[in-house]
Every structure is written in structure tokens, then in C-alpha cells.
Structure 1
Amino acid sequence: MTTTDRPQAATPARALLPLILPAGVVGVASSLLLLGVTELSDQLKNVLWEVLPDAIGIGRYSSLWVIVVLTTTGLAVGLVVWRVYGHAGPDPATTALVDPPLPASVVPGLLLAAVLALAGGVSLGPENPITASNIALAAWLGSKAMRGSSGELWAALAAAGTVGALFGTPVAAALILTESLAMRPAPGALWDKLFAPLIAGGTGALTTVLIAHPTFDLSLPELSGSRWGDVPAALAVASLGALVGMAAVHAFPYLHAAFRRLGNPVLVITAGGLVLGLLGALGGELTLFKGLEQVKVLAADPSGWSSGQFALMTIVKLAALTVAAACGFRGGRIFPSIFVGVALGLGVSALVPEVHPTLGVVCAVLGVLLAVTRMGWLSLFTAAVLAADPHVFPLLCVALLPAWLLVTGRPQMQLHNDGTPLR
């Protein structure tokens, strides 16, 4: 047996025990920051979309008000990016969900830009800026509390704590970190490397569950067992979702370049806000915001919209996601991608009644997320938890295969600093 064939040596328990307390603290703190930002953005959202329009006597989600609020939100975020110290972090088109730590001084501007976007109706979620902020703060404070500790350790803890808090379970965090470890192999047993992040993910998830009681279950109709016809339907819908997502991926660098020609970030993001306002006026109230609450409205009444209406919402939300990410709004792409997949899946089911709505939703979400995130485990996990039906998981595992073949090796929805896409 060669050296490379030998099993990885396990880490002694005494080396893992000192990580329990800091991992738990990071997990709780990551959740609290997420909940605080969410609550603040919800309060501002209430002012922008209820108090103000009621006070001036205009419809809350009238076309005019949607355009005004989103354009103004673009102006406000542009001013933050332009003038606030740290410029709210790097260009979000060049960042991933989990990146090396930013300077802690960037965090206030990044969180301010994220709160404004979330409240203003921008089609992005909180995951990227919250994760980046938690990683920056954990690396800064952790290096002071534990001299000689690596920034990579604190980044892993904060990323796990944030993802656990976002999804209400540490499983999603473990899956994401497993993919990261596969890309950057290091010596040691896998579960030793996941030990502390799982604690952070678990405490982050538990904190969120106890305080906010989140759920991803859309209460979709049960499949009542798989049928032979479900297999080709799952393959087709997941592949369609991947193709729809790839349309946005291919448009992304061109939109990014077009916005950057405007130069000043105030002009760039204000223009993006105007485009988002026009898209919101076209697609309606449900196509605004990050999309997590809006998908529950769609799922509560799958027959409440025609296939054409679902198609319109799919196109508008996908366009809004792409524009928002390309023009410089700070936010994540997972939650709006879920909306795109849900609308697409329900639209397919409305057009082809033989496709069960639950099957259509989970497979379409799987395909869209694979295209947008390139995270196979996260995409599979997210699609599965939407239904809370054990019959969907085998179908998703099969449907993932052709969808992955459509996206692997192709451009990603992330750019190098020169504007070319990663592969």
C-alpha cells in the first residue's frame, strides 16, 4: 500500500474538544445577525410598501409605486456603494456564497446595502451578504480571541453557522462544506474536518428555529407513490429548469458589462433599480422581493394561475434576478432561484396535467439551482425539503443526472475581475 492509499489519520479528540465552545458561539452569533438583518429589513419594508403609499393615497403595489420604490432603492444602494467606507464589499458579480474573509470594516456598508435591497423589493436573498459579514466578523474576532488560529477555520464556522441558520438545519451547511472540501482537499478524516462546522451549523439552525420557526415546506399535494410516468417527467422538467437557468447565466456577463459602461455605481445601480421596477410592474407583486414568502402563495393554490401567468412570472423573476446580480445590488441568488423553479414547475403542471405539481416544482427548482449555483448537494437538498414527501427523493436523484450534464463545464453565474465568467 502506498502512502496515498493509506486511510487518513483521525484527529485526536483532545484536539477537537477546544473547538466546541467557539463553534457554538459563532453559530449562535451568525443566526442572530441573520435574524437582526431580517427584522430590520422587514420593518423598513413595512414603511416602504404599506405606511408610505397609504399616507400619500397610492396603491401599495401599483405600477407607479413599484417603479418609484425600486428606482429609489437603487439610488440609495448606489450611494452606499459609492460613499460608505469599504464600498459594501467587492463587486457581487465576482463573489461566491463562501469566500475568504473580508476586512471587518466592510461589514457595516455591506449590511446597509443588503437591508435596503431586501426592503426595497429587489429580487435577491440575504444569504451572500450575511455569510460574508459573518465570516469577516468571525475571522476578525476569532483571531483576537484565539491567537494563532487560522482564518480558514473561522470562515468555515461562520459559513456553516449562517447556512444552518438560513435553512433551519445543519445538513445544508454540511453538504456545502463537503463540496468545498472536495475542491480543496486537505489531510485528515472528513468528519474530523466537519466536526466544528457541524456544531456551528447546528447551533445556528437551532437558534433560528427557536426564535423564528422557519419552514421550507410548501405543503404541496402528496405524490402518493411514484409511477412509471413520473420518471421521464422528472428528467424532462429538471432539464428544462437547467436550460432556463442557463439562459440567465449566459446573459449575465453581457448585462454586467452593459451596466458597467455607466461608470459611477450610483448611476449603475439606480439604472438597475429602474429596470427592476419596470419588471416588477410587469410581473406583479409576487415577483418582488427574495421570493421565499411569495412561493408559498403560489403553492397554496396551484390552480389559481394559468400556465401563461406562471410563464410570465418565471421570465420576469429570472430577468429580475439576473439584472439585480449584474448591476451591483448586494444579495444572494438561492431564494429567487427557488421562486423561478416553483413558478416554472407549476406552469409545466398547468400546461401538462399529467405532470404532478409537486414533481414539477421540485424538479424545476433542482434544475434552476444547479444552473445558478453549481452546488449539486445544496440544489438536491433544497428541492427535497420543499415537498417533505419521501417519494420525491429517488426521482430527484435520477433527475439531477441529465440536468447536471447540461450545466457542468459551462460558464457560471460568477465572473472574474475582468468580466469573463468562471467555468
Structure 2
Amino acid sequence: MSLSRLLVTVLNRLQPSAETVMLISAIAVGLISGTGVTLFRKLILIAQEFYWHELALAFIAKWHWAIVFIPMIGAVVVSILRFKLDRDEASTSSRELALSYSQVPLKTVAAALSLGAGASLGPEGPSVELGSNIGSLLGQMMQFSSERIRLLIGAGGAAGLAAGFNAPIAGVFFALEVLLRDSYRTNKSSPNSDVSVVVIASVISALVSQISLGERPAFSLPVYEVRSYWELPLYLGLGVLASAVALMFTRAIKQAKKFFAGQWKIAPFMQKLPMPIKLLIGGLCVGIIALTFPEAIGIGYETVESILQDTPFTIPLLAMLLAIKLVLTAISSASGFVGGIFAPSIFLGAVLGSLYGQAISSFLPASIPIAASPAYALVGMAAVLAGTVRAPLTSVLLLFEMTRDYRIVLPLMAAVGLCAWVLDQLDTSKADRMMMQWSDLPADIEVLEKIKIAEVMTLNPASVKYSMPLLQAAQFITSGYHHSALVLDDINHLQGILTTQDIKRLLSNTVVDRPLEEMTVQNICTKEVLYTFADESLAEALKRMATRDLRQMPVVDRHQPKRVIGMVDRLAITTAYNTALTKRAIAARITATKPTVTIATVHSNTVNNVFSNGSGNGSSNNANDKSNDKDNNLNANNVNNLNNALSNSLDSASNNNLNRESDIHSSEAVSS
């Protein structure tokens, strides 16, 4: 990371503008990511040469079946790296660091050795993670804000995908569609600057990859030919099948992880097995498949290219490859091998498309002109990939960059769009639940949707004047152990926010354009502030906070957004969430102790009699929203850890809620 330190030193001396700093950082992320992905791909080739040429020849010379042990040997090596990774992650979490410098190369080497040993995973996921980690590390070294670090993470992910597929446009859209998603939509200050950071990192990384590995695209694809526009409904049918395969694929991975975690009733012993044994089980499964279906192991791009070149594959063989690859990828991922699901998704899509194309050509009469099976394989690749990673725009552009043929775009968009729509209708685990996981809260978002900001917000947040001397403001924030303070003007209107991270970054900067004694709060505070309203739900506030990794957010008057009426933070949201869950568990327990009363009566009496002094309608009504079975299966840790929060809220909730609305109006009057 000497290049990163050199960059920090140069920027400190030059003192460029914020936009220039991000531009230079994007170039650095692109260069480092492109170089890292290039080395990663070469390391995979070296590992494959060692495992499947040198070792395989030595084993086959004695026993043909001995190649079963090759993935198991790889599993032993990967388990050593995984042990070191797990130990490093435990130590870094105790120091509250996002990532250590040693973890990035360890993860990359572990992924290369996993793929080289034949694990049914892909290199694009690790490439994206490598680029994102590089962006995160660079942001930490530069002591950027959380928002800028997240932007560099997105730029690094785009760079990793661009270098992995030699597709810079798809890399940009992947970052905006998946990695940055809501944060790009909510950043109103400089969206064009943010996009330029991602674009530059993606282009630089793809350029480095092309110089090192050549300009050849990921696949050599045949020329696509449009036979008839009446063929479009057939591609829509492929989109529906692709959604089913993508859904089965993602659920198979989840079930395999539950199996290896010992959560299956038939295999609770798996929970007690150490990680090396689980990896050996996964390696054994890969080795057995290597004996019978070698096309299904490893990355699988050779098989995909053969399908795209119209190499003869029978329908039964394609059906078996589809099922085997799906199960083997789930086992490889859940057992502990390191890799991504991009390549397996592309493999499954190519096999499904070829199978579908051959099937319809055998059923339809010869007089109806349809495209050859490679065309359907190509569309199937994009459709299954879109359904698996939930990135339809990225999938369309990725395949378009590979073919560089505009005629494939219409069937491609039709199949991908229908696949994404079907999955949105079928799968309930969508972006809201993923956002909840970003916020370190369980994914029961319905609880937070019923609680309003007014019930948990602080009415008198810490604040400083925008003209206050900076050192005086720093003393005020640190003396009160505040993480941040709102910046107000002379008429108490919101002008920005000042955080301890802003102060720390300024103090660590050895070269400043003016003495600290002469600086005021308005010189370094963040002027673009996300805010919420008192009548919004906690779920909406938490999702907005997660876009920039905020710890707290001001609450403003809906009619006058510059007028602050309170502050909401993650601790208050977490407390309200766990209190609501605890209430629901107690309601279920009381219900269970009154078997002679009907279910409806128990719920009604429990809510009215026990929680008549509860904190708000949203929390108290939760007992009516869920079934008794789900309530009784509530995680006991939530109840045990938050009994104190429940008792405190029950003691003070009655008085607080009676006066909440009057407090809000009083605060607005004072602010005005």
C-alpha cells in the first residue's frame, strides 16, 4: 500500500479541491484494482496448471479415480487461509476497523486456490470484492467521510467487474445498480461527479486488464442473426424459465448454507464440525463430479464457450449439467470455498438457453424460422445472471459488450426484463431487507414501519453556530461526547452538520491553507445533509441513513425543511425495534397461558390491558400482525438482551406520548 501512502502525502501538499481529490482517488483505485485483478486471474491459471495438470497426471498414472483427491487437497490449503482470515477478521472487528491490509491479499489468494482446485464458483465476485476492498482501504487511509468511502467502494467494485469481464460500461452500471444503488439516488449534491468517479475507475481498470491480458472479450461469440421478429415470444418464455432457475439457484445456496451450519433437522451434527472438515466434504463432492461430469467443475467458461460455438450437446446431457452445476455450486459456496456466483449464473443460463433452443426446434416445424440454440444460450446467460444478482441493466449491458451486436439487444432486454419482473413478484426478500442487514438489524422491517420518528427522536439535539470558531466547536463536541452537532445560522435554520470525523481529518492534515485558530465551523462542515420528518416511519429513516452510513439524522419540519425539531439516531431506532419485538413476545406468552379464551379475544385483551401504557400505536399493534407460531419462535436473545429497554420504555412511555405532539409544536415555535 505504498502507492496509497504516496498519494496521501502528495494530496496533503497540493491541497486540491474535493472533486480533484476524488478524481485522483478514482484513478488510483482503477490502477490498483486493474493490476490486482490481472494478478488474480494469472494466479488462478497457475493454480489450475498445478492441480489439474501436474497433480492430475501424477494421480492418473497410478489410479484414475485418484483425481477425487485433488479438490480435497485444495480444500486443505484453502482451510489454512480461511483460518487465518477468520482470525484476522475477529481481531479487526475488536478494533472497530472495517478491513485490515492483510485480509485483501489473503482473500484473493484463497479465491484463486479455490477456483484452481475446481470449486464450482466464479472469479468475478472476488474481483469485485478485491476492487471494493481497495477502494475502502484507500478511503480509510485518506480519512474520507463514510459517504466518500462508500463511493470509492462502488468505484472499486466497478473497476473489478470491468477488469474481470473486459466490460467497463457494465462495470459502471453494476456499481450504480447494485453497490451504490440508494446512495446514488439520495445524493443530490453532485451526482455527475459521483458517476465520473465510478466511470474513471472502471475505464482505467479495464485498460490495465487489456494491456496485461489482451483485448479479447470473455467469450468468443458467434454472429447473431435475426430470423423473425415473431420469435420474440419464445425469448419471453426463456425469461420465465430463467427466473425459475435463478430462484432455485439462490434458494439452493441458502439451503446449503443452512445444512453446513447444522440448521437442518436431519443434520444437526454439521454445526459441530470444524471448518476444515466442511471444506473436505465440499472438496469430496467436487472430486466425485470431476470423475463423471468434468464440464461442471471449476469456473466452466470452456463449457460455456463450447455451447456458444454450437458444439453438439444432447438434451439429456444439458439437463444433467443444469442440475449438477446448480447443486455443486451451492455445496462449493456453503462448504467454505471462496468465489462468486457470476460465472455459475452464466453457466446455468447458457445451458438453460441451449436446452430451451434445442427443445423448441425439435417441437416446431421446420417451416418456422428460429435462431440456432447458441442465440438462446446467449440470452439465457443474461437472464439467469440478472435474476441471480438482481441487476438487469448490468446483465443486458454486459452481454451487449461481449457480443457488440445491436441486433441481440431486443430479445436480450425482453428476456431479462421479464425474468426480473417475475422474480420481483415471487421473491419477498428484496432491497428493503438487504438494507436492514446493512444497518445491523434483523430483517423484520414491518415492525419499524409502524413506529413513527416522533416517538423516538431527541427534541434538543446538540448544535453550534456556523460562525463559531472551529476549535471552540471541537471542544464543545468532544466535551459532551457527541458524535456530531447540527450547524445553525443566526435564525436557527439548518446549514449543515459537523462530525468528529470532519475534525479528526482536518487535524491529521499536516498542510492547511490557513491556521486552525482562524477557521470557523462553516469552513469544514458538511453542507448537504440528509434529513427526515416526524411523521415518517423508522424504516424510512433507517434506509435513508444506510445510504450514507449515518449514525444520526436531523428531524425537520415538513413545511420548512430548514427548521430543526429534533434528532433521531441508530441507537434509538434499535431500542425501539427490540422493545417492539419484546412486547410481541410477551403478548404471545400471555396468549399461550389463556387457552380457554379465543385467539382474537386474547390478542385484543393483551394489547389493551397489558400495553395500554405502551410507547405508540405502531409498537403495540404488532401483536395483532403476526401469528402465534412466529411469535413463539422469536429469538430469545432479543428478549434477554433488551428487558431493560422494555422496562424503561414502559415506565416513561405514557407521559412521553401524551406530551409528544405538544413538545414538537413547542420546539417548532422556539426554532422559528
TM over 0.5: yes
Ranked by relative contact order (alpha carbons within 8 Å, sequence separation 6 or more), the top structure is: 1
Q: 1:397 to 1:56 in 2, by over 3 A?
A: closer
Match of 2:302 in 1: 293
Alpha-carbon deviations, 1:333-360, whole Å to 9, x = none?
1112111111221122222224532431
- Please show how residues 29-40 of structure 1 align to structure 2 within 5 Å: 29-40=32-43
Match of 1:396 in 2: 412
Alpha-carbon deviations, 1:13-48, whole Å to 9, x = none?
964333333211211110111111211221121111
Q: What TM-score results when the alignment is normalised by the length of structure 1?
A: 0.84
- Please show how residues 176-191 of structure 1 align to structure 2 within 5 Å: 176-179=174-177, 180-184=179-183, 185-191=186-192
Q: Which moved more, 1:407-416 or 1:319-328?
A: 407-416
Match of 2:196 in 1: 195
Q: Is the Cα–Cα contact under 8 Å of residues 246 and 407 in structure 1 kept in the other structure?
A: yes
Say yes or no: does 1:331 pair with 2:339. Answer: yes
The structure having more radius of gyration, on CA atoms, is: 2
Shift of 1:76: 2.3
Shift of 1:189: 4.3
Counterpart residue identity of residue 359, structure 1 = A
Match of 2:277 in 1: 267
1:219 to 214, 218, 221: 221
Alpha-carbon deviations, 1:161-194, whole Å to 9, x = none?
2122112132112111221444232223432211
Counterpart residue identity of residue 403, structure 1 = C
In 2, Cα distance between equivalents of 1:275 and 1:243: 25
Q: Is the Cα–Cα contact under 8 Å of residues 151 and 180 in structure 2 kept in the other structure?
A: no
Q: 1:85 to 1:397 in 2, by over 3 A?
A: closer
1:352 to 352, 360, 373: 360
Counterpart residue identity of residue 32, structure 2 = A
Match of 1:104 in 2: 101
Q: Which moved more, 1:135-144 or 1:345-354?
A: 135-144
Counterpart residue identity of residue 289, structure 1 = G
Q: Is the Cα–Cα contact under 8 Å of residues 243 and 387 in structure 2 kept in the other structure?
A: yes
Counterpart residue identity of residue 127, structure 2 = I
- Please show how residues 236-315 of structure 1 align to structure 2 within 5 Å: 236-261=237-262, 262=270, 263-284=273-294, 286-300=295-309, 302-315=310-323
Counterpart residue identity of residue 279, structure 1 = I
Shift of 1:276: 2.2
Q: Is the Cα–Cα contact under 8 Å of residues 154 and 180 in structure 2 kept in the other structure?
A: no
Q: Is the Cα–Cα contact under 8 Å of residues 130 and 160 in structure 2 kept in the other structure?
A: no
Q: What TM-score results when the alignment is normalised by the length of structure 2?
A: 0.54
SS for the counterpart of 1:391 is helix
Counterpart residue identity of residue 183, structure 1 = D
Q: Is the Cα–Cα contact under 8 Å of residues 304 and 347 in structure 2 kept in the other structure?
A: yes
Q: Is the Cα–Cα contact under 8 Å of residues 60 and 66 in structure 2 kept in the other structure?
A: no
In 2, Cα distance between equivalents of 1:311 and 1:88: 42
Counterpart residue identity of residue 102, structure 1 = L
Q: 1:28 to 1:357 in 2, by over 3 A?
A: same
Shift of 1:215: 0.8
Say yes or no: does 1:154 pair with 2:147. Answer: no
Count of residue pairs brought into register by the alignment:
394
Shift of 1:235: 0.3
Q: Is the Cα–Cα contact under 8 Å of residues 86 and 106 in structure 1 kept in the other structure?
A: no
In 2, Cα distance between equivalents of 1:102 and 1:148: 15
In 2, Cα distance between equivalents of 1:292 and 1:176: 21
2:121 to 107, 121, 124: 124
Counterpart residue identity of residue 220, structure 1 = P
2:169 to 168, 171, 183: 171
In 2, Cα distance between equivalents of 1:88 and 1:39: 26
In 1, Cα distance between equivalents of 2:138 and 2:173: 26
Counterpart residue identity of residue 253, structure 2 = F
In 2, Cα distance between equivalents of 1:45 and 1:152: 34
In 1, Cα distance between equivalents of 2:394 and 2:409: 13
Counterpart residue identity of residue 70, structure 1 = P
In 2, Cα distance between equivalents of 1:56 and 1:276: 16
In 2, Cα distance between equivalents of 1:322 and 1:77: 17
Match of 1:383 in 2: 399
Q: 1:388 to 1:203 in 2, by over 3 A?
A: same
In 1, Cα distance between equivalents of 2:165 and 2:41: 14
Q: Is the Cα–Cα contact under 8 Å of residues 104 and 140 in structure 1 kept in the other structure?
A: yes
SS for the counterpart of 1:352 is helix
Shift of 1:147: 4.2
Shift of 1:85: 4.2
1:27 to 23, 27, 30: 30
Counterpart residue identity of residue 55, structure 1 = A
Match of 2:233 in 1: 232
Match of 2:77 in 1: 76
Match of 1:374 in 2: 390
In 1, Cα distance between equivalents of 2:276 and 2:443: 23
Alpha-carbon deviations, 1:110-163, whole Å to 9, x = none?
12311211110111112233333333333334433x344542233123222212
SS for the counterpart of 2:111 is helix
Counterpart residue identity of residue 216, structure 1 = A
Match of 1:41 in 2: 44
Q: Is the Cα–Cα contact under 8 Å of residues 224 and 375 in structure 2 kept in the other structure?
A: no
In 1, Cα distance between equivalents of 2:86 and 2:59: 36
Percent of residue pairs bearing the same amino acid type:
19
In 2, Cα distance between equivalents of 1:330 and 1:388: 31
In 2, Cα distance between equivalents of 1:165 and 1:360: 26
In 2, Cα distance between equivalents of 1:120 and 1:237: 33
In 1, Cα distance between equivalents of 2:103 and 2:308: 38
Alpha-carbon deviations, 1:319-374, whole Å to 9, x = none?
22222222221111111211111122112222222453243112211221122111
Counterpart residue identity of residue 392, structure 1 = I
Q: Unaligned 5+ residue runs, structure 1? A: 1-12, 91-99
In 2, Cα distance between equivalents of 1:399 and 1:385: 17
SS for the counterpart of 1:290 is coil
In 2, Cα distance between equivalents of 1:384 and 1:412: 29
Q: 1:274 to 1:421 in 2, by over 3 A?
A: farther
Q: Is the Cα–Cα contact under 8 Å of residues 99 and 137 in structure 2 kept in the other structure?
A: no
Alpha-carbon deviations, 1:199-245, whole Å to 9, x = none?
1100000111121024134322421x351332111101121122112
